[in-house]
Amino acid sequence: MIDEPKTTTAPAAEETPRYRRHQERILKGNFAAAEAARLCRVGFVPAYPITPQTTIVERLSEMVAGGELDATYINMDSEHSVFAAAMGAALGGERVFTATAGQGLFYAHEVLQAIAHFRLPMVMCNVGRPSIPWNIWSDQSDSLSQRDAGWIQFYGESSQEVLDTIIMSYLLSEQLNIPVMVVLDAFYQSHTSENIWVPDQELVDEFLPPRRPGAMRIDLGHPRAFGGLVPPEHYYKFNYNWWKDAQKVEALSDEIAGRFARHFGRAYGNVEAVNIGPHTRLVLVAVSSITTTARGVIRKYPDVGLLKLRLLRPFPKASVLKVLESLPEDAVLANVERNFLGDAEGAIQQEMKRALYGSRNFRMLDFYAGVGGKDVPPLTIEKIIYRAKNEPKDFNWIDVG
């Protein structure tokens, strides 16, 4: 007999609640993201097409043209210009949304930094794909390579989670004046239809007030210079203030998720632990849709747990330590990487080591799976578990072929 693994937050399928003041719709992930932007009453959407993000901005242009969304939608000349326009409109006081992927995110790197350093609130969606040589499939190397651009990063396991996270992110971003990137998986989410609970506009309006005036906003009555040459002592202080606010992200994200759960009925943590306790020998660490696959597979393995990372930047160290508290010292962590960033260790293992340093000294094994869109079916997860248990190696590539 196999014991059913214990799930902390995700309700079992048969318990799916009927959410009040919602409509249940069948939506692809990209359309769910566009719905979220509409519900947040964004005022400015600069856009540039890139697969597999394109249908997000297509849907938003349709909403604006059809009068469903009162926003200014502009077809820009590049992603660099998209984010520069987003920066201008956010400085002008608008609530801004845009979306990109892969090369587009890489191209925008300079402006991502500028937006974060300007302390401008906004939310963008990145539909993960890797760098040229051309590849349009699911991979998180793009967003994970931008971990240090100063944006808060969330990774959505389901399209419902993406929709809900966008709504929560505006609250978080506008409270701290730090921009937020919400990442979804190419095709597995972006182009896959799911049942999505879309909240009523009034329900969202009660939760998310209009953008309040912030310090970083032009005021025609009180002209100032923004972004001019900043001498070292001021630049140092700007970064100190930002650093202080970055420390608040983890707790504030939890607080907002709590309010969201009470208001909408769906609960999210910065991380989620499945079957992690004194009996657990192995913990898979995963983000996005791979988590769903792993969730199913580990039901057969009573001693295998799952740690899902939803908030990835700033890394939710306290949340991770808390859910691993009861894990025995000789347990092993298997980090599942859908990224390759040119180092021996993938981004997930780098982050996990950083978080646990000085606190817990678990053996960590790194598993590259799903890079470049390589499918990660249940069998791959089984192989990871088998290798971790029977032939543990520091670095592993599954079925290189």
Partner 1 sequence: MIPVHEFLIKDEKVFSGALGCRGCGWSLLVRHLSSILGENTVYVVPACCFSIISGPYPLNELKGNIVHTVFAAASATATGLRASLDRQGNKDTTVVILAGDGGTFDIGLQALSGAAARGENILYIVNNNGAYMNTGIQTSTATPYGAVTTTNPNGEFKRTWPKDLMGIVAAHNLPYAATCSLAHLQDLRRKMEKARDITGFRLLMVDGPCPPGHKTDPALSISVARLAVETKLFPLFEIERQHYTLNYIPEKVLPVVECLKYQGRFKHLFTDESSYILEEIQEHTDRYWQQLLARAGMAGALVQEAAP
User: What phi and psi, each to the nearest 5 degrees, are found at residue 397?
Assistant: -115, 130
Positions touching partner 1 (CB under 8 A) are: 43-44, 46, 72, 74-78, 80-82, 84-94, 96, 110-111, 114, 218-220, 223-231, 234
Q: How far is the CB of 62 from partner 1 (least distance, A)?
A: 19
What does the block give as tokens for 356?
Answer: 């646990």
Q: How far is the CB of 335 from partner 1 (least distance, A)?
A: 35
| Of 233 and 329, CB closest to partner 1 | 233
| Of 92 and 258, CB closest to partner 1 | 92
Q: How far is the CB of 146 from partner 1 (least distance, A)?
A: 16
CA 23 distance to own-chain centroid: 24
Question: Distance between CA atoms of 226 and 303, rounded to whole angstroms?
Answer: 55
Which residues, other chains included, contact 370 with Cβ-Cβ below 8 Å and sequence gap of 6+?
A: 138, 139, 290, 336, 337, 338, 376, 380
| Of 18 and 222, CB closest to partner 1 | 222
| Of 216 and 261, CB closest to partner 1 | 216
Amino acid at 174: E
Say if CB 148 and CB 315 are below 8 A apart: no
| Of 44 and 340, CB closest to partner 1 | 44
| Of 18 and 224, CB closest to partner 1 | 224
What does the block give as tokens for 86?
Answer: 């987003």
Helix ranges restricted to H, 120-185: 141-145, 159-176
Q: How far is the CB of 85 from partner 1 (least distance, A)?
A: 4
Question: Distance between CA atoms of 184 and 190, rounded to whole angstroms?
Answer: 7
Question: Distance between CA atoms of 39 and 85, rounded to whole angstroms?
Answer: 22
Q: How far is the CB of 218 from partner 1 (least distance, A)?
A: 5
Residue-level length of the chain: 401
Q: How far is the CB of 118 from partner 1 (least distance, A)?
A: 9
